[in-house]
Structure 1
Amino acid sequence: MSAHGFLLDGWDDASTRGLDVDHYYAQLTPNGVDDSNGPQVWIAPAAYVIGSVTDLARTIAAVLDRSVEAVDQAMARGAVG
C-alpha cells in the first residue's frame, strides 16, 4: 500500500491518495473539517474501482468540481519528498 499527500489548496491538510494492491484510492477532507470519523470523501472500491493514476485524477476532479490539471498538479506535489 502506498500513500501520498494530496496538495490541493483547501484540501491539503489531511487528504491523501495512493495505491492499495491494484486499485488507486483517495481519502479527502477539506481543510478545517474534523476527519476523526474518517475522510469527507472516499474514492475507493466498491464505489470506485480505479486502475490508473490518470483515472484517479479524473475522478477526483469530477467529485471536487476542479480541473483535471489542478488535481494532477496537486497529486504530483504530494508525490515529491
Structure 2
Amino acid sequence: MCKLQLLVFSFYREEPEIKKLLDPLHSCSITRSWESIQIDCLDLKHLESLKALLIYLEPPFALLGLGRQIILRAPGLIKYSHPIEVCFKK
C-alpha cells in the first residue's frame, strides 16, 4: 500500500463502514504530481466506482493541502478530473 492510500485509510481508521466502502482503492495506483493526485484505475467500471467515492477521497488530501485536483485515469480512456475544495473553518 502506498503512502497516499495509507493516508486515506488512516483518515478513516475509526470508521469501519467507510473503510469497507473504500475497498476499490486497494486495486489502484496513486501518485502525486505537482498539484494533482492521480489515481490509476483498472478499467471504466473501476473508475466509476471510485468516482462515487470522491466524497471520501477529497477530505484527507484537502486538509493536508496535497493538491488542487484528483484525477481518475483508466487505460485507454479519458481522464476524469475532480477539483479539491479547500475549506478553512475557524
TM-score (normalised: structure 1): 0.31
> Which structure's relative contact order is higher, taking Cα pairs within 8 Å and 6+ residues apart?
1
Bigger CA radius of gyration:
2
Give the number of the structure whose residues are more often helix, by fraction.
2
